[in-house]
Amino acid sequence: MLISLKNKHTLQVDDFYFDCSIGKKGTSKKKIEGDLKTPIGIFSLEHLYYRKDRVKKPNTKLKCIPIQKYMAWCNDVNHPKKYNRLIISDKKVSHEKLFRKDHKYDLLIPIKYNFQNKIVGKGSCIFLHLTPNYLPTAGCVALIKKDFLILLKLINKNSKIKIN
């Protein structure tokens, strides 16, 4: 199953087309940390992380992991062993908290960009996540909740996302 970014506002899965938002500065083959760009390429997907206090476990073939208050994703170039990985929140390490006050990470799938043979500074925290209003992201791909739940029913652990 291939999820395809058709343009900066449209994601396609089979015959389904979803409105989406991407990085504020578009897409890039040369993504770097903090550039507000969504990386170009074909990438595998990680597990689904979800806020069980806000949404019931979704109907999906992906492994589902409840988000805990201590969970974070490292974006700190000064910590190469933790960079672009799930970590326990640590004030000494720059990170994205997964347990947020807003609802953007109520449903979250890390896109496996810069995962294998990762290069520190090449970009981290690239996710499929929720958006309430389709405002540009910091480099992620975002959908409204209704569409995200449909997407979850269509994909599986072997699905990939193609970003042009």
Q: What is the 3-state secondary structure (H, E, C) of the chain?
A: CEEEEEECCEEEECCEEEECECECCCEECCCCCCCCCEECEEEEECCEEECCCCCCCCCCCCCEEECCCCEEEECCCCCCCCCCCEEECCCCCCEEECCCCCCCCCEEEEECCCCCCCCCCCCCCCEEEECCCCCCECCCEEECHHHHHHHHHHCCCCCEEEEC
The CATH number of whichever domain residue 68 belongs to comes to 2.40.440.10
- Return the structure tokens found at 45: 């997907």
Q: What is the pLDDT along the chain (164 residues), one digit of tens a residue?
A: 899 999 899 999 999 999 999 999 999 999 999 999 999 999 999 999 999 999 999 999 999 999 999 999 999 999 999 999 999 999 999 999 999 999 999 999 999 999 989 999 999 999 999 999 999 999 999 999 999 999 999 999 999 999 99
Q: Are 41 and 27 in contact (CB under 8 A)?
A: no
Total number of domains constituting the chain: 1
* Listed residue (32, 20, 10) closest to 129, CA to CA: 20
Candidates 26, 19, 56; CA nearest to 138 is 26
CB 93 within 8 Å of CB 82: yes
pLDDT reported for residue 158: 97
Could you tell me the residue range of the domain that residue 71 belongs to?
Answer: 2-163
Query: Which residues is 142 bridged to in the sheet?
Result: 21, 129
Distance of alpha carbon 52 from alpha carbon 124, whole angstroms: 25
